[in-house]
Amino acid sequence: MPLFRTTSAAVFGIDAHLIDVEVDLWNSGNPKDFVMVGMPDTAVRESRERIKSALFNSNLGFPNKAVTINLAPANVRKEGAGFDLPMAVGILGAMGKVPPTNGHLLVGELSLDGAVRSVRGVLPVAVCAREQRLSSVIVPHENAAEAAVVSGVQVYGVRHLAEVVALLQNPERFSPVSPTSIPAATPGGWSLDFADVRGQLTAKRALEVAAAGSHNVLMIGPPGSGKTMLAKRLAGILPPLTFEEALETTKIHSVAGALPSGVGLLRERPFRAPHHTVSDAGLIGGGIGIPRPGEVSLANHGVLFLDEFPEFPRNVLELLRQPVEDGAVTIARSTMTLVFPSRFMLVAAMNPCPCGFHGDPSRECRCTGGIIQRYLSKISGPLLDRIDLHVEVPAVPYKEMRGGPEGESSASIRERVLKARAIQQARGFYNSQIPSRLLRKLCELDDSGERTLETAVRRLGLSARAHDRVLKVARTIADLGGADRVMAKHVAEAVQYRTLDRSYWG
């Protein structure tokens, strides 16, 4: 059997595409020749040594012939060690040791002793196999639960190359992995509770509004006032992921290699908090070769928390404009253009000045006006316009910190958030995503509300984008209160969340 074909897949973005692995053995060449064609990267080319050792150490032998492997289509770059397993099986098939693998899709990395190691991107691979009407996928055992999320395709998790050979020779002796049972989504799995936070009633209210409408938030306050503590508890009042949201989020984490071993489907909303030294590729996505998702995509359907907001390089912060506005990141290369979902809640926290005590009545600020201006100018006006709520988080007085009543629990806040989101889901989208053509209809104001909004726009100098965001926040406040129509009091509260950017940046 001189020519043998197996099927594998390559991941681009969060989708996988079939790759045909063709193996040919020929007598006229040097037996030491092992040639790969089809645009393999370094990791794929290095697989020749792993495959040889794995075949020998598994007592499966290696052909005393020249080997040529073609990865088709040839004009698509192949990356990663996931092609080890299909290439090794292709060599065994060309030697006549395994039957044809029609209907099977194989992916996995080989160690020198023949063990099959886990790889990234198995969930998109399983989805691709189902869409291409393949009967089964053979994946590393550690990735089996991930692949079993996909119904309509049989999943076999293997630990060793010899086990793959036995599976192909006698498939009736093996049972596919049982499909992962998806438990009913239940809120409340987040361990951090808002009841732990003393005081900060205004900030808690702002975060409740943000959670109810999926709005972006900027918190400004001195060090130790509780900004980080509040942000870490935000995910606990968000509704659970729907199955579609969980599937998309899990695909992103699978492609990035950030999915915990043995986890089939992510059930909690992600909370990502990158350090302010993160690069533009680390935050937005990209990298050498095939682009990978960044932090904004890993936070998809969850929270992206940027602490010490002005400490991030300005060029990195400016890259947030597209994902915040569009809910997706488009990464263009000369050979491909990939789109990564990035519909997240942006929560940023910052001090009012480098020392942190500008405007604090109890501590003296030692920063000059020029120093404060340079510090604040790292955050541009267009980026601020894309943040719906600007909230001041002052230092907590001693009496509230020591003797104040316990704060409201996350469970109570979550109930109100869920009711507000249920109203929005009936409309078909969250309030932060209201299309411009429907904004006037869904946020219709009475005369009093119109006067309130007009006064705010004139006095604060709000842009058209900020005007729209005030209306969307007012709609969320009305939903939290169970009101059918946006009234003047809802607009007034929404405007209060836009005044800080003028007092600091104005």
Range in 90-99, 298-307, 334-343, 465-474 the model is least confident about: 334-343
Whether 23 has a pLDDT exceeding 80, the answer reads yes
Q: What is the mean pLDDT of the chain?
A: 89
Looking at the chain, the domain(s) classified CATH 3.30.230.10 span 3-173
Q: Where are the beta strands (DSSP E) in 133-284?
A: 136-140, 154-158, 217-220, 271-272
Q: What is the mean pLDDT of residues 3-23?
A: 93
The pLDDT, as a whole number, for residue 184 is: 44
Within 13 Å and on the Cβ side, how many CA atoms surround 181? Answer: 2
How sure is the predictor about 29, in pLDDT bands with cuts at 50, 70 and 90? low
Q: Where are the beta strands (DSSP E) in 212-315?
A: 217-220, 271-272, 285-286, 292-293, 303-306
Whether 416 has a pLDDT exceeding 80, the answer reads yes
Q: What is the mean pLDDT of residues 281-293?
A: 87
Closest to 94 measured CA to CA, from 25, 7, 6, 168: 25
Whether 252 contacts 328, CB under 8 Å: no
Q: Could you report the per-residue pLDDT of 143-163, keeping only the tens digit for each?
A: 998 999 998 899 999 999 999
What tokens does 42 get? 């370094």
Range in 295-309, 316-330, 395-409 the model is least confident about: 395-409
The pLDDT, as a whole number, for residue 420 is: 95
Q: What is the mean pLDDT of residues 477-497?
A: 93
Whether 69 contacts 23, CB under 8 Å: yes
| Domain 434-506 coded CATH 1.10.8 | yes
d(Cα 75, Cα 305) in Å, to the nearest integer? 39
d(Cα 138, Cα 104) in Å, to the nearest integer? 7
Which CATH homologous superfamily contains domain 194-427?
A: P-loop containing nucleotide triphosphate hydrolases (3.40.50.300)
Looking at the chain, the whole-number percentage of residues with pLDDT higher than 70 is: 95
Fold topology of 3-173: Ribosomal Protein S5; domain 2 (3.30.230)
d(Cα 374, Cα 473) in Å, to the nearest integer? 30
Looking at the chain, the domain(s) classified CATH 1.10.8 span 434-506
Q: Could you report the per-residue pLDDT of 181-225, keeping only the tens digit for each?
A: 544 444 445 678 888 888 888 999 999 999 999 999 999 999 988
The pLDDT, as a whole number, for residue 188 is: 47
Peptide linkage before 73 cis (omega within 30 of 0): yes
d(Cα 22, Cα 281) in Å, to the nearest integer? 35
